[in-house]
Amino acid sequence: MGRPLTERVADAAAPAVLALTGDLERPARLTVPDLLAWPQHRVRVSFECATSGVQHHRFEGPLLHDVLCAAGPQFDPGRRKDRLRFLIAVTGADGHHALLSWAEIDPDFGRAPVLLAAGIDDTALDGSGPQLVLPQDRCGARYVSGVNAIRVDGRYGPWT
Ligand SMILES: Nc1nc2c(c(=O)[nH]1)N[C@H]1C(S)=C(S)[C@@H](COP(=O)(O)O)O[C@H]1N2
Ligand SMILES: [Mo]
C-alpha cells in the first residue's frame, strides 16, 4: 500500500543486507554473497519447533565468530577477561531477536560452532538474508532467519 508497485517490486528483488553495528572498529554492511569470503562450514542439524515438530536442514556458511572478528570487536584480544562483557544481539527482518554472549562462540570459552548461514539445503539465501545456525540447540527458536542486524555490545558491567 502507499508506494507505487514498481518501487515495491524493486525492493523485493534487492539483495538482503546485514548491518554489523555496535562496539566495532569496522562496522559493515554485508550481503549474503559477501559471506562467501570467509572459510565455509557445512553442518546437518535437527531441531524441534514447539509448533511444527522436528525439522532437519543442511546449512552452509562462515562461523559467526570469524565474521564478527573481521569487524574488529573493541576488546583487547590479548586479555581474555575483556571479552566476557560482550553481547551479540541478532535480529531478523521480522523483528525476531536472540542474544548470545561473546564467550558462547569464543574458541577460548564456549566454542559453540555457530554459523551465519549463506545457504540452506543447497539454496542460497541471497534474497532473504543469512540464518543463524546453532547446531547445539535442541530447540529451533534461535535459528533466526532473514538476519538483517547484528549488534556487538560491550557496555555490560561492571555495575557498581
Ligand atoms: N526471523 C525469524 N526466524 C525464526 C523464527 C521467527 O519467527 N522469525 N522462528 C524460529 C523458530 S521458533 C523455529 S522452530 C525455526 C523454524 O525453522 P523452520 O521454518 O525451518 O521450521 O525458526 C526460527 N527462526
Ligand atoms: Mo519454533
d(CA 116, CA 28): 15
CA 143 to ligand 1 center in whole angstroms: 6
* Ligand 1 pocket residue status of 92, Cβ below 6 Å: yes
CA 131 to ligand 1 center in whole angstroms: 9
d(CA 134, CA 124): 18
Nearest to 60 by CA among 17, 118, 105: 118
Q: Of all helices (H) and strands (E), which one includes residue 69?
A: helix 64-70
d(CA 34, CA 27): 14
Pocket test for ligand 1, best of 51, 143, 148 (most atoms within 8 A of CB): 143
| Ligand 1 atom 18 nearest Cα | 55
CA 143 to ligand 2 center in whole angstroms: 9
Instruction: Take residue 141 and report the three cell numbers written for it.
Output: 527458536
pLDDT tens digits for range 107-156: 999 999 999 999 999 999 999 999 999 999 999 999 999 999 999 999 88
d(CA 35, CA 22): 19
CA 159 to ligand 1 center in whole angstroms: 34
**Please, are residues 59 and 115 in contact by the beta-carbon 8 Å criterion?**
yes
What pLDDT, on a 0 to 100 scale, did the predictor assign at position 121? 98
∠ CA 105-29-67 to the nearest 5 degrees? 25
Structural domains present in the chain: 23-153 (3.90.420.10)
* Ligand 1 pocket residue status of 87, Cβ below 6 Å: no
Q: pLDDT class for 14, splitting at 50, 70, 90? A: confident
Strands 41-49 and 123-124: unpaired
pLDDT tens digits for range 47-89: 999 999 999 999 999 999 999 999 999 999 889 999 999 999 9
Which DSSP symbol is given to 65? H
CA 144 to ligand 2 center in whole angstroms: 10
* Ligand 1 pocket residue status of 140, Cβ below 6 Å: yes
What pLDDT, on a 0 to 100 scale, did the predictor assign at position 10? 54
Q: Which atom of ligand 1 is nearest to the CA of 92?
A: 1
Q: Of all helices (H) and strands (E), which one includes residue 12?
A: helix 5-13
